[in-house]
Amino acid sequence: MELSELIEVTRVRDAFMRKGPRPAQIGDICIFGHHLIFAPTAVSKEEPDNSQEFWLLHKAVDRVLCEPISKENPQRGGLLALKCKNFLMIIFEIGDLEICRATARTIEALSNINGFLHDYAFFYNSPFTILDNGWSAFDPEQEFARLMLSTDAFRISSVNENFTVCSSYPEKVIVPKGIGDDYLKISATFREASRFPVLSYFHKETKSPIVRCSQPLIGPTNRRCREDETILNSLITINRGYIIDTRSKSAASAAKAKGGGAEPQGNYRQWRYIQCPIPRQREIHDALTRMVDVCSERKVSSDRWVNRVGQAGWLSAVAASLEAGANVAQCIYSEGLKEVPVVIHGGEGIDSTLIASSLAQILLDSDARTIRGFESVIEREWICAGHPFSLRNNHCAYAEGTVTGPFEAPVFLVFLDAVYQMIAQYPMSFEFDENFLIFLFEHAYASEFGSFLGNSEKEKQENGIRKKTVSLWSHVHHPENMKQFVNVCYDPTSGVIWPSIAPQCIKIWDRLFFRWQRPDNSWSKPETETIQSLTDHWKLREKELTAKASSLRRSVIELSRELRVASPL
């Protein structure tokens, strides 16, 4: 299929952009295979910055609406509304209603192409020199080599070569050293979607591993798998471990009736079982829809607005995710105990499981709070771990796909929002700021890079994504790009951080939900400039005081010498 076959209108002249990312202005709409381009024709001398073309990926459009400006007088033309996945709303006034409708059909078709093989990432030519290839920046063998410096209790296995055991796992996984591949294969038959236990993270200080998998297929008959029990028990050394289930008790019981379930205490006696429920996919999807709707509402009283924010359920989902991650971290780093293994799973192990495991790492490890360390967490715990980005992020808050609708959910955005809550409480402990999180959110839904394409490593390999596209990390690692994400107040904090999960401490991510509602659509520039100015001032002041202190020390030493010479013993 050629994208040009879907284009009914290539150019709309003298369209009036009533609402969008810049002040209202007149221009031409040009439609190409991957982009809509708005080219201003009338530019105000007072606002020369708005003379630039505005480019929008069709993939970034969530929903398209078209209606006449006046139902009584269709000759006045039509309104074309584009609701984007990053919550931006663009409204055009087009003088001819039929052209408006044809434009709407064109954008609707181009923004809802099934699959990702026609995505812009396959046609994008990088305008910058790639200094650091992001596709090779986080190699599993290098990760394992670093792990070997801390422990020799694990090995790297190729049991999943050619993705024959588990289609959502990478080909190489890290597993307990004493467990053979035959046990892993048998365990895979006992776990949902064949996601057998693999190492997620190893905490050096307490020598405690975090292992993730999917739910056991216990079923109504209480099925048992001794090989799976052996794998988990091999993690036990001196202390009992924890199995953390990210489902509610009722959800786990319902899953057992359908063939799933949870580990029976009688078969896993060396493990404590804890439930840390995180909302399910559909709940998260509906919560975001309600939250975006509330944040777009203006004609509402304060009391009613606050009530609707609570009823939306988004902040509750973020708080529950943060609580689950904190519980995992507390099991690893509590009461002075060492070598306490933690196993995390939910249902299939590709959504809430990844939220809990990745948040725990950020809490426990200061390296995960750097830009590269955070990228490594996303690469290992989300991209390589099999989170189905193409399914979950096909639509956002405004629409649902006809095919992917039941599978769509902003799970990754819940994770990013939970990280934002950490940054809000520990603003100097992260090398990056919330701009980096928003950047990742936008690229997870629509991007010229290939990092978030596909639903697994298997799909990436089958479609040549790593060979045919540019990695997002290549863009981030370029010095000119990285500086825009650096937290100017960063002061590395070693060790664990413990953010509060009290309701009054969980706040609305204003730059995410409200950034398009400010008249100038700019949140970060003035504040960042102020912070940068203050930071530069106090860094200069620190250097002056340090130099003065050194001078005073030298004076004290010289005076001491003179005193000894003048007063010999």
Name which of 225-234, 430-439, 543-552 the model is least confident about: 543-552
DSSP assignment of 185-231: HHHHHHBGGG---EEEEEETTTTEEEEE---B--TTTT---HHHHHH
Q: What are the tokens at 454? A: 């596909």
pLDDT value at residue 540: 74
Distance CA 304, CA 307 (A): 5
The set of residues, in sequence order, having a beta carbon less than 8 Å from that of 454 and lying 6+ positions away, is 116, 389, 390, 460, 463, 465
The answer on pLDDT for 491 being more than 90 is: no
- pTM, two decimals, is 0.90
Distance CA 435, CA 413 (A): 14
The pLDDT tens digits of the residues spanning 35-93 come to 999 999 866 666 656 678 999 999 999 999 999 999 888 889 999 999 999 999 999 99
Question: If residue 241 lies in a helix (H) or strand (E), which one and from where to where?
Answer: strand 241-245
Nearest CA-CA partner of 447 in 415, 416, 476: 476
Question: What's the average model confidence in pLDDT over 470-497?
Answer: 91
**Longest C-alpha distance within the chain, in Å?**
109
The pLDDT tens digits of the residues spanning 303-325 come to 999 999 999 999 999 999 999 99
pLDDT value at residue 535: 65
Distance CA 116, CA 58 (A): 13
pLDDT value at residue 49: 62
**Residue 16 exposure: Cα atoms within 13 Å on the Cβ side:** 11
pLDDT value at residue 553: 85
The pLDDT tens digits of the residues spanning 216-230 come to 999 999 999 999 999
Going from the C-alpha of 38 to that of each of 12, 57, 85, 109, 533, the distances in angstroms are 10, 12, 18, 19, 35
The answer on pLDDT for 132 being more than 90 is: no
Nearest CA-CA partner of 195 in 221, 224, 223, 173: 173
The pLDDT tens digits of the residues spanning 360-378 come to 999 999 999 999 999 999 9
The answer on pLDDT for 497 being more than 90 is: yes
Amino acid found at 440: L
DSSP assignment of 350-370: SSHHHHHHHHHHHHH-GGGGS
